[in-house]
Structure 1
Amino acid sequence: MDKVRPNVLKGITATRLPVVPDEAEIATLVSRVISAKADDSENFAFVVGRNWAISRARHLSFVQRRMTEQAVRQAAEAEEQREFETRREEARVLIERLNPQVKPSQRLQLQMVWWRVFEGKSADEVAALLPHTAVDCRVKRLQRGRTLLMIHASPELRDYLSFRVTPSGGLSKTPLPVT
């Protein structure tokens, strides 16, 4: 016991890693060394201290990296949500401005874009809202509504709406080619 504690501390400090054990951790490490009954307990205590320091530094590094990644991910999600809210408001104003000027069929096309893009309704949910329309008809309305909005939209809203409507009526995040 007399030589175990100093050798554990030497092992910890030999790594020069930014870890500081508390008394409970040191006592745990010392008890491990004593219970192991190693032939060369001084060197074993040094190795136990060194390994603890390395393991602790790796753990702290992992925790810090995970927190950084989480913060970056949350910032990106918040930015994406702000972008969505901005584009949604811009599209709402544009649709309200266009509604008196367009034909009834075009109003439905704009409504399709609103449901799919800004309310996040799936193709099945839209099909439930419009039960007497075929899939290809809903897809065409979505494409035409998107085109109608793109004509009058700001460049930022155009970028946001630059998606492809798949044949099944789904939305693809793949941007349209610039022409």
Structure 2
Amino acid sequence: WLYCVGYVTIYMALFSKLYRINQVLQFRRAKVNVEQALWPFRIVIGLTIVLLTLWTIFDGGVYKRRELNFETGSSVGMCTFEHAWIWMMAAAIVLGTATAMTGVIAWKTKDVDAAYAESAWIMTAISTQLQVVIVSLPCLLLLNGQSSNARYIGLVMAAFSSSMSISTLVMIPKFWAFFLQNNNNNNNN
């Protein structure tokens, strides 16, 4: 729940910001208010919450333990879902849609000054997250049912890498530019 809602919130917030910038820079004499920029955010976050709620209601997780070795007594326990792949694919489609929408609007605003739109950093973050998925997915599939601890560590590392890539690649350049500008202003005074 937290990962999906957080992921969609980050990408749709970036989409809304870039959408508003794109509309303002189209040289139209129209005022773009916050409500106009937030309607896609509301739709996608609402769809995410509805999907996760339906998943929880109709296919809630059941904890199952499976014995790996009868002699040693080692076993693996995890929450399982009867139709997990269907729900995971639906969630992946929603998350992919949020990512694609942000990627498209970032591409449209790539010529805007970096002070207003961080399109290059968003595209880099999307590429980094794609690499995280490509590397972590086979590892997690191999670890599934073998070791609960290793699978947990793999999931945590994948979630951390995915979340931190967008945070660091978008926010650190903003902080860096802000501190450099303040430092230059202080040196000039």
Question: TM-score, normalised on structure 1?
Answer: 0.27
Larger RCO: Structure 1 or Structure 2 (Cα < 8 Å, ≥ 6 residues apart)?
2
Question: TM-score, normalised on structure 2?
Answer: 0.26
More strand by share: 2
